[in-house]
């Protein structure tokens, strides 16, 4: 065998050893991916190769244990190759690239066979980016097809006592939506008639008579009772709690929302998503939640349930609240201290930096929506009622 053929044979053996160890390390770290790649048809799709290369790059750059082992193996092979070249330059070896030790080749082949035979017994399946995208699309279609329920859980206080009612805004909002509020007086007229008759006798002529009708008009005035701000507020709440366009937010304690439950459920099934897949899942849920549930738009009625803080100021007060989900929604709005209930006004008057209330319901109108970051929405509202 010529030197060239021996060099090519040595290169092929070294390449086989490198591929074998890469397969062994990779299948030990990501068995579901390799199971689908070799046994599930992934090898026939270019996008699956591309995803594998991307995952390998992330593993190496993030210096995970698997990446550290792979880098160490590459460095060891390079060091061995350099020492072989040095020995050849010194005249101790004649081949340009010596063949790998026989024991190393046998070890690589033996471990590769064991790894390959164990793949059919791996539990769970691997979800690619396309699988996640299809799943999100299917969930989106399912949610879009569901009827949107009214906000049946939102009820006015049974006692009729509110912590806060913006009296002027409540009446103005109600007047803008109900034309009957402007009709307060109704007048009806009724005409009654009476008849008077006079008869006279004329000699040689006979009798003559005259009949006269006299009419009189009467009026009845009906005045509708004046609508109080509390009654207007209750009617507004009853109207918008059944409105499909109303926004309903809750103070949640878990920022991860539903995608964390989905990821945990996949892990229990043996499906481990990459960082890219998790990011896509989160972004998809954010978009879906904002479109179908949050519906943050200007001039849209909204309800919030949770804790709020009232920050007193000079002649005014500021409301602050936070709703958590896939997005963090920070609510703020101006309040009129004169429209608070007595004990709340007392809290504001004694100079406390913040009056905090838990488990309350807020009804208002969205004025502006800002996006300071991908996961945060800043919403300015016009508060109408708090109870």
- How many CB atoms neighbour CB 1 within 10 A? 7
Quick check: is 266 in a domain? yes
pLDDT in tens, 91-137: 655 556 677 788 888 998 999 999 999 988 888 777 776 777 777 67
Does residue 374 sit in the same domain as residue 235? yes
User: Does 139 score more than 80 pLDDT?
Assistant: no
How many domains does the chain fold into?
2
Quick check: is 195 in a domain? no
**Residue scoring higher pLDDT (196 or 46):** 46
The pLDDT value given to residue 205: 46
User: Does 290 score more than 60 pLDDT?
Assistant: yes
Quick check: is 139 in a domain? no
Q: How far apart are CA 79 and CA 96, in angstroms?
A: 15
Highest average pLDDT, of 168-182, 232-246, 268-282, comes from: 232-246
The pLDDT value given to residue 283: 77
The pLDDT value given to residue 166: 93
Last residue of a domain, one of 125, 144, 177: 125
The pLDDT value given to residue 315: 76
Q: How far apart are CA 302 and CA 362, in angstroms?
A: 8
Q: What percent of the chain lies above the pLDDT cut of 70?
A: 72
Quick check: is 150 in a domain? no
Taking Cα atoms as reference points, which of 10, 113, 110, 22 lies closest to residue 66?
22
User: Does 163 score more than 60 pLDDT?
Assistant: yes
Does residue 116 sit in the same domain as residue 244? no
pTM of the complete model beyond 0.75: no
Quick check: is 56 in a domain? yes
The pLDDT value given to residue 47: 78
Structure tokens given for 345 = 């006004």
The pLDDT value given to residue 320: 94
Q: How confident is the model at residue 382 (pLDDT cuts 50, 70, 90)?
A: very high
- Please enumerate, as own/partner, the contacts of 190-193 that have beta carbons within 8 Å and a separation of 24 or more: 190/217, 190/218, 190/220, 191/215, 191/216, 191/217, 192/216, 192/217, 192/218
Give the chain's mean pLDDT: 77
- Within the chain, residue ranges assigned H as helices are 3-29, 31-39, 46-62, 65-89, 102-118, 129-145, 167-177, 229-240, 257-268, 275-289, 342-349
The pLDDT value given to residue 208: 54
The pLDDT value given to residue 233: 92
Which DSSP letter does residue 316 get?
Answer: -
The pLDDT value given to residue 131: 74
Task: Give the range among 156-165, 202-211, 351-360 with minimum mean pLDDT.
Answer: 202-211
Give bridge partners of residue 164 from the DSSP assignment: 340, 386
User: Does 332 score more than 80 pLDDT?
Assistant: yes
Q: How confident is the model at residue 25 (pLDDT cuts 50, 70, 90)?
A: confident
Task: Classify burial at 323, counting beta carbons within 10 Å of its beta carbon; exposed 0-12, middle 13-18, buried 19 or more.
Answer: buried
Tell me how far apart the terminal alpha carbons of the chain are, to the nearest angstrom.
93
User: Does 143 score more than 60 pLDDT?
Assistant: no
Quick check: is 197 in a domain? no
pLDDT in tens, 212-269: 555 555 555 555 456 788 999 999 998 888 887 788 888 875 555 566 666 776 676 6
CB 325 within 8 A of CB 257: yes
Q: Which residue segment(s) compose the domain that 233 sits in?
A: 228-386
Contacts of 254 (CB under 8 A, 6+ apart): 260, 324
The pLDDT value given to residue 214: 56
User: Does 1 score more than 60 pLDDT?
Assistant: no
Strand-pair category, 317-324 with 355-373: unpaired
Quick check: is 148 in a domain? no
The pLDDT value given to residue 164: 93
CB 144 within 8 A of CB 366: no
Half-sphere exposure at residue 209, Cβ-oriented, CA atoms within 13 angstroms = 6
pLDDT in tens, 26-64: 888 788 888 888 888 888 888 788 878 887 777 777 777
The pLDDT value given to residue 114: 92
Quick check: is 130 in a domain? no
Q: How far apart are CA 8 and CA 14, in angstroms?
A: 10
The pLDDT value given to residue 60: 73
Last residue of a domain, one of 66, 98, 125: 125
Does residue 92 sit in the same domain as residue 237? no
User: Does 306 score more than 60 pLDDT?
Assistant: yes
SS3 279: helix
Q: Which residues of 137-154 are buried (b: 16+ CB within 10 A; e: fewer)?
A: eeebeeeeeeeeeebeeb
Does residue 233 sit in the same domain as residue 363? yes
User: Does 288 score more than 80 pLDDT?
Assistant: no
Last residue of a domain, one of 76, 107, 125: 125
């Amino acid at each position: 065998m010529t030197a060239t053929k021996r060099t090519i044979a040595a290169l092929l053996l070294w390449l086989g050893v490198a591929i074998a160890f890469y397969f062994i390390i990779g299948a030990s770290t990501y068995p579901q991916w390799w199971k689908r790649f070799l046994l599930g048809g992934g090898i026939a799709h270019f996008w699956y190769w591309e995803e594998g290369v991307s995952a390998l790059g992330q593993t190496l750059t993030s210096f995970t244990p698997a990446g550290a082992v792979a880098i160490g193996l590459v460095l060891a092979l390079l060091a061995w190759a350099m020492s072989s070249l040095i020995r050849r330059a010194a005249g101790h070896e004649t081949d340009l690239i010596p063949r790998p030790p026989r024991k190393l080749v046998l070890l690589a082949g033996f471990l590769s066979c064991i790894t390959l035979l164990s793949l059919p017994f791996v539990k769970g399946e691997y979800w690619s980016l396309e699988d996640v995208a299809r799943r999100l699309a299917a969930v989106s279609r399912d949610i879009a097809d569901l009827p949107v329920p009214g906000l049946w859980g939102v009820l006015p206080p049974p006692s009729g006592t509110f912590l806060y009612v913006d009296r002027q805004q409540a009446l103005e909002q109600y007047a803008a939506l109900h034309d009957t509020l402007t009709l307060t007086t109704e007048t009806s007229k009724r005409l009654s008639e009476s008849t008077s008759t006079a008869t006279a006798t004329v000699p040689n002529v006979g009798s003559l008579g005259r009949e006269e009708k006299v009419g009189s008009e009467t009026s009845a005035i009906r005045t509708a009772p004046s609508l109080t701000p509390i009654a207007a507020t209750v009617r507004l709440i009853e109207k918008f709690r059944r409105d499909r366009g109303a926004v309903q937010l809750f103070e949640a304690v878990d920022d991860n929302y539903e995608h964390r439950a989905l990821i945990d459920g996949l892990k229990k099934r043996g499906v481990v998503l990459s960082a890219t897949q998790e990011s896509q899942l989160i972004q998809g849920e954010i978009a879906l939640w904002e479109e179908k549930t949050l519906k943050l738009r200007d001039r849209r009625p909204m309800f919030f349930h949770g804790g709020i803080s009232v920050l007193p100021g000079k002649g005014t007060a500021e409301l602050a609240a936070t709703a958590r989900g896939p997005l963090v929604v920070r609510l703020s709005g101006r309040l009129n201290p004169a429209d608070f209930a007595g004990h709340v006004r007392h809290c504001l008057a004694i100079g406390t930096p913040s009056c905090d209330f838990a488990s309350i319901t807020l009804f208002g109108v969205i004025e502006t929506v800002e996006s300071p970051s991908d996961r945060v929405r800043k919403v300015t509202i016009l508060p109408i009622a708090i109870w």
